[in-house]
A and B are shown apart, each in its own frame.
Chain A
């Protein structure tokens, strides 16, 4: 579904992303982990054509994302609050997104009904604009909006951050359901190793812009990841010590 070839992104002399080759098959639930500055958001921004690659390109279902716009109808994303329109109410925002993706109000309402639990009664019918909601509730709205219109690719950057424990657990359920449908490719980045191992079939670790690990998730994955990140911080400690 998604392939990246010779993909690099440089700012000045600094290489922030350097992926020789990465292929994500259709229907895979794909997790991206890494420390701050590892290049997770850069990769997602490239995938959504929000920034230009220095070299290489990303193909999304056969379409090259930085030359064609044809990937937009089946791709949806929530990266950060800049994906929300502050002066709309959550409902209006959902309907607006729905309209862009060819869904009428009834379709959107049907989808939203599945998320009543997830919203916990704090989103719909609150007579509040999105800009006045709490960070967590804004995030919930953005995540649910990215499910509107039966997308085939869903990109979520740090979906677990800022959410309360109950919602985190519910979100995991939602993402697992999505992954179970073989049609939908889910891309998730996270700092929370536990969540990501639970949700994703495959985990790629980025470090300073490069793929350092590519794991099919098993019972040992969490241990392996913890070992990797723990060791890394140790080695950096000794490095800074000397």
Chain B
């Protein structure tokens, strides 16, 4: 039975849409995975020597044991967000003569080999090997290793049990914060106590049986929980959130683009992926802190132009690069409804312009580092408004890849194509080049004034520019409609 399941899994992986993506993205994702794995591997190898160097005289294993408790809590915390039990995949299996027992074991067993556990394995294996080479007793080290793997699996299965409740998350957060606080203020040495427990696993390898039993117990709880719920109306039902209607009548001020503006705001707020991008964009305002506080660059450096473009234009890039793919699910409606294409694009441009203004206002405190900071951010904001908005809208006309808004935002690269990589060149490259050359030939003042003037000129001519862009959208309309309908694109 498991053989069948495994082939199914295999096929679903190799025939999945993500594998059908363009080669460049596949390679990129491959590199990323490889990078993560090798980082874990290097950490596993290096940790022992690092600790030996940093804390001479202490046994590195004791140090590791001391802080394992934080790792356990932190991992539970992260997995709460990242890892979900893949129950939806088993829907088609329900009516096929397979015992529900087998299905349950399959789902739970499969989660045991998930990527999250693999990362831990890639960390603990080299660490164990290093311990062995350092002459730690073999039996004890193996016992400890087995115990750790059992702990990882326990985390895996605890996660599925607590995943449904927000209270559990809160408890976890309090536990994590609380024990760290107790440690930090020397009220109670939590890590030492937990460390002694974990170290015992090494001293008495027999005790490895405890985490193993824990894993088995958690597995069977999960099993019993899930086995009774393999029905369409129980765990297999997707949860629906209660809809919150919002008025947004303040958008009326923007005239006839108001309905689209409202639609876009709802789009952003009611879908996970877009919502995450808003937070990412807002957080990006701190990006400047890194560069402004590094003295080496100096306030007039070219790098500050990149910082300025990025800070004021982060939403422009994140949101803009997927126009009009955000609307891909209902694009045929948009195209046949009483919507002139131009109005549609104007509304998108308006929304992005709003974000640029907001981000610039948020970046004003950087004036603390000197008036140059404000000047650069102001001119790059203008440049974003006048030049980069049309550029990103124009590149949007090359989007043909569907974005499924209901998909999770984590690591989601749906809708990414060559256009997304190409668009970076004019967005950053052009202003950097202009600024670089002009500061070299003339002065800082001339350079930022030129960026600002370019932006103003672009803004002044936005009407004819938008006409041209509309034309290119009209030409590519049929390709977009066809592309957006391909669910596996």
Chain A contacts to B: CB under 8 angstroms: 48-52, 69, 72-73, 75-77, 79, 82-89, 91-92, 96-97, 99-101, 126-129, 131-132, 149
Q: A72-B338, A72-B339 are contacts. A79–B332 as well, Cβ < 8 Å?
A: yes
Closest approach, in angstroms, between the C-beta of B274 and any C-beta of chain A?
10
- Interface of chain A, main secondary structure: loop
Q: Is B229 an interface residue (CB 8 A)?
A: no
**By CB atoms of chain B within 10 A, which of A72, A76, A91 has the most?**
A72
* A-chain residues with CB within 8 Å of residue B136 when the two chains form the complex: none
- What residue of chain A has the Cβ atom nearest to residue B268's Cβ? A87
Interface digits, B309-346 against A, CB 8 Å rule (1 contact, 0 not)?
A: 00000000000000000000111110111111100000
- What residue of chain A has the Cβ atom nearest to residue B244's Cβ? A127
Is there contact, CB below 8 Å, between A84 and B330? Answer: yes
Q: Is B481 an interface residue (CB 8 A)?
A: yes
Is there contact, CB below 8 Å, between A100 and B243? Answer: no
- What residue of chain A has the Cβ atom nearest to residue B343's Cβ? A100
B residues 331-382 near A (Cβ < 8 Å) are 331-333, 335-341
Is there contact, CB below 8 Å, between A83 and B339? Answer: no
* B-chain residues with CB within 8 Å of residue A126 when the two chains form the complex: 243
- What residue of chain B has the Cβ atom nearest to residue A75's Cβ? B336
* A-chain residues with CB within 8 Å of residue B244 when the two chains form the complex: 127
Closest approach, in angstroms, between the C-beta of A126 and any C-beta of chain B?
8
Is there contact, CB below 8 Å, between B270 and A96? Answer: no
**By CB atoms of chain A within 10 A, which of B270, B332, B338, B405 has the most?**
B338
Q: Is B245 an interface residue (CB 8 A)?
A: yes
Interface digits, B450-489 against A, CB 8 Å rule (1 contact, 0 not)?
A: 0000000000000000000000000000100110010000
* B-chain residues with CB within 8 Å of residue A75 when the two chains form the complex: 336
- What residue of chain B has the Cβ atom nearest to residue A95's Cβ? B259
Docked pose: A231 CA to B335 CA in angstroms: 40
Q: Is B140 an interface residue (CB 8 A)?
A: no
Closest approach, in angstroms, between the C-beta of A12 and any C-beta of chain B?
14
Select one of A69, A89, A100, A128 contacting B259, CB under 8 A: A100
Is there contact, CB below 8 Å, between A82 and B405? Answer: no
Q: A72-B337, A129-B270 are contacts. A82–B259 as well, Cβ < 8 Å?
A: no
Docked pose: A97 CA to B263 CA in angstroms: 11
Q: Is B165 an interface residue (CB 8 A)?
A: no
Docked pose: A49 CA to B166 CA in angstroms: 48
* A-chain residues with CB within 8 Å of residue B259 when the two chains form the complex: 96, 99-100
Is there contact, CB below 8 Å, between A86 and B243? Answer: no
Give the bracket for the number of chain B residues in contact with chain A.
Answer: 20 to 34
Q: Is B267 an interface residue (CB 8 A)?
A: yes
* A-chain residues with CB within 8 Å of residue B329 when the two chains form the complex: 82, 85-86
Is there contact, CB below 8 Å, between A87 and B271? Answer: yes
Select one of A50, A84, A86, A131 contacting B336, CB under 8 A: A50
Q: Is B242 an interface residue (CB 8 A)?
A: yes
Closest approach, in angstroms, between the C-beta of B242 and any C-beta of chain A?
5
Docked pose: A214 CA to B223 CA in angstroms: 61
Is there contact, CB below 8 Å, between B337 and A97? Answer: yes
Is there contact, CB below 8 Å, between B481 and A77? Answer: no
Q: A48-B335, A50-B481, A99-B259 are in contact. List 17 more A-B contacts (CB 8 A).
A: A69-B340, A76-B337, A83-B336, A85-B329, A86-B329, A86-B406, A87-B266, A87-B270, A89-B243, A96-B259, A96-B262, A100-B259, A100-B337, A100-B338, A100-B339, A129-B241, A131-B406
Closest approach, in angstroms, between the C-beta of B48 and any C-beta of chain A?
50
Is there contact, CB below 8 Å, between B478 and A51? Answer: yes
Closest approach, in angstroms, between the C-beta of A74 and any C-beta of chain B?
9
Interface digits, B236-278 against A, CB 8 Å rule (1 contact, 0 not)?
A: 0000111111000000000000010011001100110000000
Q: List 29 A-B contacts (CB under 8 A).
A: A48-B332, A48-B335, A49-B335, A49-B336, A50-B335, A51-B478, A51-B482, A52-B478, A69-B340, A72-B338, A75-B336, A77-B336, A82-B332, A82-B333, A83-B330, A85-B263, A86-B330, A86-B405, A88-B266, A89-B243, A89-B245, A96-B259, A100-B259, A101-B338, A127-B242, A128-B242, A128-B243, A129-B270, A131-B406
Closest approach, in angstroms, between the C-beta of A88 and any C-beta of chain B?
6
Is there contact, CB below 8 Å, between A48 and B336? Answer: yes
Closest approach, in angstroms, between the C-beta of A80 and any C-beta of chain B?
8
Docked pose: A131 CA to B404 CA in angstroms: 12
